[in-house]
Structure 1
Amino acid sequence: MDGGRHEQQRTAHRRNPDPRTGRGLRASNHVPGFAVGVYHAGEQIVVAHGTANIATGAPMLEDTGFLFGSVTKVMTTTLVLQQLERGLLDLGTPVVWYLPEFAASPSS
């Protein structure tokens, strides 16, 4: 291919980013930046893309902090109910059976 055709493709990609890419996801969902983490089979992968602060232009980094607020309650409930559906959790079983470190310390 000639150089002019490559430049046309790059320019078209900038105007119409592929929605499967980080830039495309941000553009199609009007999101300035995001970080995604996956932990599987003992391996952790974190990818950050875009802008963390639109006022300052600070980039999104793998260790950028986020304020979650009450969102964690919904996430935790969803994850617990998914484990229930898979038969890996029984809501009637005390939490200390699954997480022994939650056991109350002996009173003195």
Structure 2
Amino acid sequence: MAIDITCYTKLDHNLLQSKLDVIKSNYNYIFNHSYLIYTANEVLTRQQLELIVDPVEKYQKESDLLISEEFGLKDARSYFMVSVNDKSFPKVNTTGMAELLRKELGEKNIIVLLNGETLI
């Protein structure tokens, strides 16, 4: 079974990506072995969603906004994923990873979901 952590943030996706690069560098002992951290993606606003014509694309993009709102993060601007590469958790568990990400990105700027379903 895969273990994924999805994080929604209030940070612009370009700013988020630069912060993720710093986090990967500062914690390379974690991200080189136990976890894989993926690139930042943009969460569109409702106004931006209205401009999308393709219903499949619109559904996919709108889902990001709705999920972030469902779990209490209003005005999400970006999201990223972290996957567990080594399930033996030699350095840190998923709760520890959530704490690390909140510390680095600002507790009020982020929500962390385990497998996209459970707020941690």
TM-score range, shorter chain: under 0.3
- Please give the TM-score of this superposition, normalised by the length of structure 1: 0.20
Larger radius of gyration: 1
- Please give the TM-score of this superposition, normalised by the length of structure 2: 0.19
Higher relative contact order (CA 8 A, sep 6+): 2
Greater helix share, structure number:
2
